[in-house]
Structures are given as structure tokens and as C-alpha cells.
Amino acid sequence: MPSLRELQTRVLDALLAASPENAIPLIAGFSGPAASRLGVYRNNVQSNFEEALRSSFPVIRRLVGADYFRQTAREFQRLHPSRSGDLLHAGAGFPDYLAGLHHDDFTYLTDVARLEWLVQEALLSAEHAPLDLQKLARIAPAEYDALCFELHPTLRLFESRYPALRIWEANVDSDVEPETIHLHSGGDRLAVARCRLQLQFHPLSAGEHCFLNSLSRGESFATAVALGEDSDPRFDASAALQRFVAAEAVVDFRIRDLQDHNPQDNGTS
Amino acid sequence: MPVSAGIGLRAQHHLHVLSASPQTAWFEAHSENYFADGGSHVECLSRIRARYPLSLHGVGLSLGSTDPLNPQHLANLRRAVARFEPALVSEHLSWSSAGGRFANDLLPLPYTEEALRHVSSRIAQVQDALGRQILLENVSSYLQFQSSTLPEWEFVAGVAAESGCGILLDLNNIYVAAHNHGFACHDYLQGIPQHLVQEFHLGGFSRIDLDGQELLIDTHGTPVCEAVWDLYAAALRRFGDVPTLIEWDTDIPAFEVLEAEAGKADALKAAGHAVAA
């Protein structure tokens, strides 16, 4: 008699990798073939996984069609089975998987998939209260260089050389006939966030993108400003800060301890 | 938890429940659907919980697996329990993972002494981590293992006795498994000690033809069938009046359809089928 561990390994191999031969002898006898009974579970396992991907990537499914999406979801599951009892994160590797297929038409699709995943992350991340401006006003000018701003937990940065957001917006409502979008009609540089249950897309300049990217790595305000200015001569740090505080993209801050060394920080202060 | 029938809460009905405030006695939500750090589902359930008693029902803990319990999953469950303060917390008597890979389905265990000891110790771990008793639900199944030595009901009762958990008896699952494996539902009910059952589930199934044989599949996508209502009446007579839940997971209908099913369960209780306990 196989141990419980051995039985479970053999059954899971049968369900995930379609290799039922080692599991069939474990199944009790009945009038039909054991493979059919395993097949019932295999269908459930595949359709549960596909359903999770469908709900994370509705736009990709619409763009590639239901049949191709199902086939791709199955192959992705075979190579990257779920590692959690909760399917919420099952699609995390799906954009990279699409990129790895090296299909000519998939360069833009991969970017749309990355955007869809960031949208899901933004929708499921924690809420946060707006920045306390009075608390900020109490900071002494001498401490400005050590200021580290915190971004809203839902905020995600996105860049693409394709108009991924327009493609997403045109396809997210499956009842609306999508407009034709030229793939080379301009790229995207965005912050995706959710504020009080409302999904938001903030278009960013190159400088703003660098600035937020630096803050998201936990670097100081001074470093983020320097990086923003380096990448974009028109970057206006105080305008950017005002904009992101008003948009609730910047929600908190701390004064960095001088001992609090961050190896990623270029340390312009 | 009220003994009147509750309804399985699905995201499609969040806004209806919040805006129409139906007279539903209580709701049961799938724990994993509310594991996120934030967002609209978590927000809706918090608001619904403020108005209704709640049960959290897990589908992904993989209690019967020989892999270690997933610490992140357990931490998420603990957080959900702290957040929503449910009156009942339940999980399935099943497994879904091996070697870190998950099938994300409710797979049956072999009913052996080894599996009984294993799953009992896992339930004890979960109860320790949550600081409370959980209920364990019997699952539907489409196959049995050659190595099983115990009838399912003896296994369920044995696990409850050894781990100290309560039992959530899914009458539809008993009916489906009895049909698929050829045992009598009555034997199942008689094999479960009366004092252990703290909740009933009712739902619908589908029929498929598999190699010329009719197999029942637990789809939760149809009304409760007459034979399962009869089984429910028998369960009420044996186990008394315990909280009953209407579950519907695929082809989810208008909320009124679920209310009508809950009303039918309450009418059966009122007809005097609940006499024991």
C-alpha cells in the first residue's frame, strides 16, 4: 500500500501533467476505466485555473480569443502550476510566460498582460489614508534631505512602447465593440492606483516616472528629485510632489535615520 | 449563529445585499475570496458583516495534504477571522497539494488509519493557530482509493473525535458520493454522532454520462433536488435544528432564487422535522 504522500504525489502528477498511468492502480475498481474518473478531476483542476486567469486577464482573453486563451492557460498551468491554495496570484507569471512564447504578435500583448496584472494588484492592495499635511508642515527644513515619502500601497508603475492603456480601455467592457487602435500610435508611461475603490491611471512624464520609481524603492526625496531631474530637464520637483499628494499617490513619509543605510540609495544628500 | 437558513454569499450579490438589505438570517463567504489586503470585496464583506452574522468557509487550506500547512495561507485565514469575526469557520475534508504544487480542487482522501491520524493532527494545528474550533465538511467525490479501509462516515466521525473539530454535513455531497460509490445515505447519517454536527449545506448537482454510467457532479449550479430535501428532513430528525446554508457556485441565479431555496429549508424545519438534539 502506498504511503499517503506517495498517493498524493502520483494523483497530482496525473491531474497536472496528464500522466495517469501511475495513479490508475490507486483507484478502486468500478465498471468504467479509472482514467475517466481522474479525467473528471482533471477537468475541474484545469477549469478552476483557467477561470482564475480569465478573471485576471479579461482583455488578453478577448484579444486572443477564448479557444486560444484556454489552450494557453492549460500549457501555462502545466509548466507553472499554482503554488497556493488561493488562486488570486496564479496569474503572476502569465505576462512573462506570454513574453517567453516569442510570438511576433505577442510583444504588445505581453505589455497589455502586464498592465492587466498591475490593475489586479492595484484593485486588491490595502487602502491608505491621505497624507497628513499638518504633520509634513512640522518638518524642519534641515530634515528635508532625509525625508522619505511613502507611496499608496495600490500604486504600480507601468511603461510600454505600445498604447497599452488605450487597448485595455477599449477592450475591458466586453459588451462594447472595440475601436481600432494603431499599435504604433504612441507608448505609455503611467502610475496605476486605486483610491477609495476607484481605479486611477495617472499619465507620467519621464521625470515623474523616475521620481516615483525612486520613491517606490524607498529612496530619499533628495535622491528621487535628483533622479527625476537627471532624466528630464523639465522635471519640476515641487509641482510633482504637489500633484502626487493631491492625487493621494504619496500618502506618508518618514525621516530617514542617518544610520538607516539603503544600499540602493545614491545618497545625493 | 441563527438556525434559520443562510445563503452562500457570492460577489455578484454584494451590491444587492448592501442596497436591498434582504431578510437573510446569515451569510457564508469563501474565506479565500477575502484574503486580499484591500479592495472592493473586502470592503463589501466588512459592510455586510456589520449587518449580518457570518460564517467563513475555506476551500484552499489543503488540510489532508502531506505537505506542511502553507504558513501564508494560514496567516491570511487568521487575518480574515480577525477582520470579519465569523461565528463559524469551516474547511473541507480533502487535500489539493503535493510537493508545493496545488490542484486547487477538493480531492478525496484514502480513508485509512494513516490519513485519519494525519488529517486530525493538521486540524489540531489549524485550531491552535486560530485559537478556535473549526468545522469540517465532507466532500463530493468521483473516485475512491483502493487503499481505503474505512467507510467515509467512520473516517469523518473519527477525525472529529480525534481532532476536536465539529462537522459541517453537506447533504448534497453525501447524496452525490452515495450515488457515485453505491452506499446508502441513511448509513452515512447513522454513522455520524449526533452531537458533532453544527451546520448543514444544501446545494445542487449535475448528471453526466461517463463510460455508459451516470455520474453525479457537485456543480452547485442547480436547485436542491427532491431526494436531497428528503435527506435534509432525515438529517433534521437525527441531528436537530442546526444552521443550514444554501450554496450556489456556478450559473449563479438572481438573489430571489436563493431566498426561495432558503425559505424551503426553513419551511421543512417548521414542519417539525427537527426533533432531536
Q: Nearest 5°: phi and psi at B197?
A: -85, 120
The reply to whether B115 touches chain A by the CB within 8 Å rule is: yes
Q: pLDDT category, A268, cuts 50, 70, 90?
A: very low
Largest separation between any pair of C-alpha atoms in chain A: 82
Kindly indicate whether the ipTM for this predicted assembly is greater than 0.90, answering yes or no.
yes
Phi-psi region of B182 (alpha: psi -120 to 50; beta: other; left: phi over 0): left
CA–CA gap between residue A264 and residue B45 (Å, rounded): 40
Whether the predicted pLDDT of B242 surpasses 80: yes
What is the rounded average pLDDT of the residues A61-87? 96
Are the beta carbons of B55 and B88 closer than 8 angstroms? Answer: yes
Residue type at position B66? T
How much is the pLDDT for A260?
56
CA–CA gap between residue B127 and residue B119 (Å, rounded): 12
How much is the pLDDT for A269?
38
Tell me whether residues B107 and A41 touch, CB distance under 8 A.
yes
**Of B38, B110, B114, which is closest to A125 when you measure between CB atoms?**
B38
CB within 8 Å of B125: residues ≥ 6 apart: B69
Which of B184, B178, B176 is CA-nearest to residue B224? B176
How much is the pLDDT for B274?
59
In this predicted model, what pLDDT tens digit does every residue of B17-64 receive, in sequence order?
Answer: 999 999 999 999 999 999 999 999 999 999 999 999 999 999 999 999
CA–CA gap between residue A127 and residue A194 (Å, rounded): 8
What's the whole-number average pLDDT of chain B? 96
How much is the pLDDT for B277?
43
Tell me whether residues A85 and B112 touch, CB distance under 8 A.
no
The DSSP secondary structure of A11-38, one letter per residue, reads HHHHHHHS-GGGTGGGBPP-SS-HHHHH
In this predicted model, what pLDDT tens digit does every residue of B169-226 receive, in sequence order?
Answer: 999 999 999 999 999 999 999 999 999 999 999 999 999 999 888 999 999 999 999 9
Helix (H) or strand (E) holding B265: helix B255-268
Whether the predicted pLDDT of A104 surpasses 80: no
Cell 477609495 belongs to residue: A196
Tell me whether residues B104 and A197 touch, CB distance under 8 A.
no
Cell 500610435 belongs to residue: A185
Lowest mean pLDDT among A168-172, B28-32, B86-90, B272-276: B272-276
**Of B102, B118, B208, which is closest to A81 when you measure between CB atoms?**
B102
Q: Provide the angle, in degrees to the nearest 10, between the axes of the packed helices A206-216 and A221-231.
A: 150
**Of B59, B107, B211, which is closest to A36 when you measure between CB atoms?**
B211
Mutant choice from B102, B121, B252 vs A, greatest count of A C-beta within 10 A:
B102
What's the whole-number average pLDDT of chain A? 92
What is the rounded average pLDDT of the residues B245-253? 95
How much is the pLDDT for A267?
43
Tell me whether residues A86 and B148 touch, CB distance under 8 A.
no
The reply to whether B39 touches chain A by the CB within 8 Å rule is: yes
What is the rounded average pLDDT of the residues B164-169? 98
